[in-house]
Every structure is written in structure tokens, then in C-alpha cells.
Structure 1
């Protein structure tokens, strides 16, 4: 079984394991729900990792699936107990991206394509505040402060000396040209981006306008992988009202192929640093037109 991880990842992996056991027995979720005398949506929520699984749920499901290996059952029940724990982000109420934060916190690597804005993990406080402030519906000052605090807390993953996140980021040129927060904020942001790209565990590439049409035109995406299950990647698609997570191996493979294509079309890391430096200079002594 996987090593200890945060509750979000634990729930999703436990749910996937329970789904595998059900399908191995040739049972439909409606049949399992009927035998447990619960609703079918509950079984779906458990298998999709949308809710914590109790050890009792695991015990009852293992009985239905005729699992006899007690050591295996015990490991699933321990995973269930851990799935009910709270991550550092849970005290912050109203976070729409809490599921993603849970995955990001435990990820070993992250491949992100950003077509319009600098990724949150690479944002300066001023840039992040400007982005958060444009959320619809408009957030209150207190909500902006809370979301900013959470975003900066997320960045601990790339500064963690024990296990820094291996981060690849392909940024469309639009993300560098779009003036967020004003010229001074943009110059500081690009200088910060260049400094981070010099870190050995962070790779930044710029996809210039000259690259023309490419597979990333459909929008941003990120591929997360985990140390204790690198083959079990998760694709994150951020949407306006709700996020989408893809875990089917065929879907993950498709997005990995798309990312490889974007990296091949983008400037090399060294050329990207030069490009970012040149773009940062354009924000010196400039003003935003009214």
C-alpha cells in the first residue's frame, strides 16, 4: 500500500482501490448500495474520493467483495482512518480549490501549462493579490486576504528543503505580456519568475506567439504525479465554477503527450530566461494606457 500522505490523496486512492475490488467481483454500485442499505450516490462518493471513508465502511465493503487477506483489510482501514484527518488548508472556509490543494501538497512533480497568468506557485504576493481581486463575484477584503494567505502557504511546497516539488511550467507569452497589477508589479513578478527558474527543481519555458497554433489552445491544465505511485497521475483542469480531475490512465497519457509537445515547441529554459528578462525590461518606466 502507499506510504502515508495527506487526507485528500488518501481518500482518492482508497476510493480507487474500493472501485477496483467492486469491479473485480463484477458488482454494480447499485447492487453494493442495496446490500449495505445505503444510497447509490454514497458508494459513488466513496469511490470518487469526494468524502472520507470510515473504517466500518471499509470492513463492510471488504466483506461484500469477499476479501480475506486480513493484512490487506487492515491497511485499507488504516488508510480510511487517515482519510478523515484534516489538512492544513481545511481551517480556511469556502475554498473552491481545496481538493486540488490537497493533491498539490502531496505531489512529487507537477507539469503545468499556463496560457494567461503566471501559475499560483510562482506568483509574487502583489501579483497574486491583483489576480485574486478580480475574482467573480468580487471578493471582500477579508476574502482576498484569506485567499492570498492560502496561496502563499501553497508555495511552501517549492521551498521545502526535505522534498521540494519538481515543477515544470510552460507559460504562453500572453502570461508575460498581460499587465496584472501594473508595470511595477509585472516587473517584480518576472524578476521573481526568473530567479525561481534558476532553481534546480524548477523549469520554466516560454511558448512564444511565433509558435502558432498548438495543443494547449484549449486551455490550462496540470499533470500531478506522486512519489508512492508515479503511474497514478492526476490531470487537473481548472474551470470557472468547478474543477475537473482526470485519473484514467488513457486521459493522463494524452495530457502528458500534449505537454511533451508544448515543451518541444517552447523556447529552451536558457532562451526562456533571456526572453523573460527582455520582457521585464519593457515594464521599466512604462505606464498602463487608460
Structure 2
């Protein structure tokens, strides 16, 4: 089974590492391993958030570290939290490790802010649009058939926007995103129709940054900020060959402030954005009819 780093396992791992390093003398993983007949990598992987220890091993380690009752209770709480968050995420087996970790984080989030200057944000991509994007990026070390799996992955992500307690999404995209025809006029028209449908949901806000505003916010690539009920925000920055999670509070706050400035002061209102998307959709349909008559 592939090792997967998740936010909840990382929190437990960091806490356990701090407890280990607080021992006198400091216990090293290679000092601990023989006592429990395990490999030293079992400790390092657990502390790195890659694996979740069994409850018995967790309690044994806490006993070895000589923790207080309060520390034991906190470690147990973090372990239970991590175990509850171990639900598998579909259609990500062949995708980069850091992206799989992001998907786990996204499934825990209550609010997502997504800003993209080149493509429709992932949560709002139709299957055929996503498949076309996947085909175009295959050269970046993507496995055969990744484009098709990317389309399926987008559809499973969209379930987060459904149900009784759906994810709240603020999606901002550049006007170039709705003007660039991806795949074909038919595929692009389907995508624009979906943006209008999704934007009408109570938990989804879609906004467009018009060409006329010039430079704004972060124009170096897609940016996503996730917010949680009890944990600090984190940001995920995408680039051609993968992505990177940012957890430094100061950096994440800068991304939040950038996003909110674009949302409130630069982007069109949701109503104006819908009108622009509808105009782009009508333009595609008119061009299609004209070509059909030619």
C-alpha cells in the first residue's frame, strides 16, 4: 500500500516527534526500534506523517517517553482524529504524492478559495474539459491514460460540493479562462454552461476578473486556500509538474489577503460574472451556427 501523507497524520507525527525529542537523553529512532522489534523507519515515517501507528504501539511509545496524562490524552486525541480522516480518496492513485495529500486536506475543509488565471478551477471542471487539460499536460511525466483518470478524479472531487453539509467554494478565474476554447467549441460550451449552473448553487460563488483590470493578485499560477473548522488555513500552489502545500501562517495569510482583495475589489460581482460567462457562451454558439451555415 502506498504511503500517503495527510494533514492529520502530520499533526500527530510532529507531536510525537516533539515528545521523543523531549526525553533525557534524547531517544533516537534507532534506539527505540529494538525495544519494540520494529524498524527505525517505522518511527520516522510516523513522525513524518506518512503512516499512522497502531493504537498499541502509540501507547507503548508514550509510555517510553514518560509523558504526562495531559500529553497522553492529546496524543490519543490526535491519533483518533487522524484515524477518522483516513478515508480513501478516489481516482488519485497515479497522481503526485503532494496532490494526493492536498486531496485529503480538501476533503476535510469547510471553505475553499480558488484563483486560476489559465484554466477553470479543478472543482468546477467538466469531465471532457478536464480530460483535454490532462491530455495537454501528459508530457510532464504523466502515466498513460492519466487524462482519462484526471477527468474521473474531477468528478469525484465535485461530490464535495454536494450533500447536506457541502464545501463552500469561492472560485475566481481570469476572463482568458472563459475565452480560451479548450478542446472544441462543444466542450467549451458545456464547460461554460456548467459554470453557470454551479454558480447558482448556494455554496458556490463564481467570479471573473475582466481583461480591463490589468495585472492583479498572483498571476504566476493557480492558487487554492483551504479553511478548516479547528485547524489553521493552508495554501496549495499548482505548477506544471505538480504542486506544493504552504502551511507557514504568515505566507498563508498573505495568500488569503491577496485572494480577498481580488474577490472584493478586482473581480466582477457574481451576477456580472454570470453575464460575462453567458455572453461568452452565446458567442460560441453563434460562431458554431455561422460555421454550420458556411
Over aligned residues, Cα RMSD in angstroms? 3.2
- Offset of 1:40 from its aligned partner? 8.5
Q: Mark the runs of 5 or more structure 1 residues left unpaired by the alignment.
A: 1-5
Counterpart of 2:152 in structure 1 is: 149
Distance (whole Å) between structure 2 residues aligned to residue 265 and residue 27 of structure 1: 55
Normalized against structure 1, the TM-score is what? 0.81
Q: Which runs of 5+ in 2 are unaligned?
A: 34-38
Where 1:283 maps in the other structure, the secondary structure is helix
Aligned positions of 1:74-223 closer than 5 A: 74-79=76-81, 81-82=83-84, 85-89=86-90, 93-96=93-96, 97-137=99-139, 142-159=145-162, 161-223=163-225
Q: Give 1:87 deviation, angstroms.
A: 0.6
Q: After superposition, give the CA deviation of every residue in 1:138-180 in whole Å (9 maximum; x if it has no partner).
A: 8677443333222211111112x22111000111112111210
Cα deviation 1:107-166 (Å, max 9, x = unaligned):
11100011100012111122122112212238677443333222211111112x221110
Q: In the comparison of the two structures, how many residue pairs are matched? A: 275
Distance 1:274 1:67 in 2: 60
Do the aligned partners of residues 224 and 176 (structure 1) sit closer, same or farther apart at CA in structure 2, a change above 3 Å counting? Answer: same
Structure 1: distance between partners of 2:41 and 2:134? 38
Secondary structure of 2:77's partner? helix
TM superposition shift of 1:244: 0.9
User: Counterpart of 1:3?
Assistant: none
* Contact 1:59/1:77, CA 8 A, preserved across alignment: no
Residues in 2 aligned to 1:26 and 1:278: alpha-carbon distance in whole angstroms: 65
Take 1:175 and 1:156, find their aligned partners in 2: how far apart are those partners?
23
Shift of 1:215: 2.2
Residue 35 of structure 1 deviates from its aligned partner by: 4.3
Against the structure 1 CA distance between its residues 50 and 250, is the aligned structure 2 distance closer, same or farther, given a 3 Å change threshold?
A: farther
| Counterpart residue number, 2:62 | 62
- SS of alignment partner, residue 268 of structure 2: coil
Which structure has the bigger radius of gyration? 2
In the other structure, the counterpart of 2:51 is 51
SS of alignment partner, residue 235 of structure 2: strand
TM-score norm. by structure 2 comes to: 0.80
Q: Deviations over 1:246-284 (max 9, x none)?
A: 112212211111111211211111111111111112212
